[in-house]
């Protein structure tokens, strides 16, 4: 492949009942990047990852702009990603940025105040109609990013006006509960890519139940399961299993361009470049241990240490922006909210380590 002459440096593979081999990871990242890879070959991943990072920055800016002024919101969003490791993933063929994007979209549609945005756009629309500019009197006025004038000047009066009307209609749909429907779809895609993210989808559904939105909760649950079912059905068609993380999985470390035959795989296993992979959860890890479930702390605590520090830096350095945000939040007098968010992050880490202790 152009730009990668040494070949793959490691592939997760799974064998189905017919002896066929398939890629043993979620496929959405590769499928979404495929058009750009078709155009730019291996550099298409760089282009795709760059677009994802820009999208992450823009979505974060939109969310922060609800609480901060435009310049401050952009600065905070930019610094957040600058001090994270997101930039480095632009140059790697990893799914991390893609997972971050679809998960952020799920959170954005869940938590963003679309009613406020709709009210502001309608107010701006009314001000434009009352503007003396329509009667020929010159007047300086502030033009918003999503105003009718901005659309019209950018792509023409007629098309710009239609796009503006569509934006108003879509915002009205989202502000009337449609945001939960869209969030459910993105949560379904996120869970397929990373199953532990189901914890956040569960929180959204619980919130809807507490607000006595029973019908909406059912519809959102249906959409979430449907999105998860449709994406997982491809894996079921190929391997006979719903999850890409299940089955007879193996990790092939070879950098050679070998045909993936059974003979070659057995040879690589003897050379230590092919190993079996099993994700069975905490129960599978302690099965056969005389201490039974009592041995779970022995597994959890070393995993927590490795999670934070690792062989080199672990994830501690990656979470610096989050710690900085919590400190700033507490400094502003919101220590209770800061502790609640920090506790939620820690609870998710424990949940993740219990769910996939051998990751």
Q: What is the pLDDT of residues 134-177, one digit of tens each?
A: 444 444 434 444 444 554 555 455 555 666 667 777 788 888 88
Query: Who has greater pLDDT, 24 or 64?
Result: 64
> Is 5's pLDDT higher than 50?
no
Please check whether residue 355 is in contact with residue 281, taking contact to mean a CB–CB distance below 8 angstroms: yes
Q: What is the pLDDT of residues 104-133, one digit of tens each?
A: 999 999 988 888 877 777 776 666 666 655
Nearest C-alpha neighbor of 198 from the set 186, 210, 184, 187? 187
Query: Who has greater pLDDT, 304 or 4?
Result: 304
pLDDT category of residue 275 using cuts at 50, 70 and 90: very low
Nearest C-alpha neighbor of 112 from the set 70, 65, 71, 147? 65
Cα–Cα dist 331/98, whole Å: 32
- Beta strands 21-23 and 274-277 are unpaired
Quote the DSSP letter at residue 53. Answer: H
Cα–Cα dist 112/114, whole Å: 6
Q: What is the pLDDT of residues 52-82, one digit of tens each?
A: 999 999 999 999 888 888 888 898 888 888 8
> Is the four-CA dihedral 191, 194, 199, 204 of positive or negative sign?
negative
Provide the H-helix boundaries in 41-156.
Answer: 43-64, 70-82, 96-111, 114-130, 148-155
Which H or E element spans position 2? none
Quote the DSSP letter at residue 87. Answer: G
């Amino acid at each position: 492949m152009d730009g990668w002459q040494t070949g793959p440096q490691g592939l997760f593979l799974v064998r189905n009942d017919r002896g066929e081999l398939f890629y043993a990871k979620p496929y959405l990242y590769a499928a979404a990047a495929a058009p750009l890879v078709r155009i730019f070959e291996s550099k298409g991943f760089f282009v795709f990852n760059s677009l994802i990072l820009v999208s992450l920055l823009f979505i974060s800016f939109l969310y922060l702009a609800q609480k901060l002024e435009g310049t401050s919101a952009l600065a905070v969003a930019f610094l957040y990603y600058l001090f994270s490791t997101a930039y480095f993933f632009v140059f790697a063929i990893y799914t991390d940025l893609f997972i971050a994007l679809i998960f952020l979209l799920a959170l954005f549609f869940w938590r963003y105040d679309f009613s406020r945005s709709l009210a502001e756009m309608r107010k701006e629309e009314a001000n434009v109609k009352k503007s003396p500019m329509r009667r020929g009197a010159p007047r300086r006025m502030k033009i918003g990013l999503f105003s009718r004038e901005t659309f019209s000047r950018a792509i023409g009066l007629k098309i710009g006006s239609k796009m503006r009307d569509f934006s108003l209609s879509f915002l009205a749909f989202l502000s009337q509960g449609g945001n939960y429907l869209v969030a459910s779809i993105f949560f379904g895609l996120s869970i397929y890519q990373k199953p532990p993210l189901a914890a956040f989808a569960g929180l959204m559904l619980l919130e809807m139940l507490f607000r006595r939105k029973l019908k909406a909760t059912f519809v959102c649950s249906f959409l979430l399961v449907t999105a998860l079912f449709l994406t997982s059905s491809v894996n079921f068609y190929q391997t006979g299993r719903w999850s890409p993380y299940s089955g007879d999985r193996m990790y092939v470390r070879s950098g050679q361009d070998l045909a993936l035959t059974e003979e070659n795989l057995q040879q690589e296993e003897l050379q230590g470049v092919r190993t079996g992979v099993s994700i069975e959860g905490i129960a599978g890890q302690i099965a056969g241990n005389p201490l039974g479930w009592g041995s779970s702390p022995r597994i959890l605590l070393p995993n927590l240490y490795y999670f934070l520090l690792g062989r080199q830096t672990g994830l501690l350095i990656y979470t610096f922006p989050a710690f900085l945000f919590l400190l700033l939040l507490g400094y502003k007098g919101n220590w209770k909210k800061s502790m609640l968010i920090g506790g939620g992050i820690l609870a998710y880490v424990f949940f993740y380590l219990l769910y996939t202790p051998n990751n």
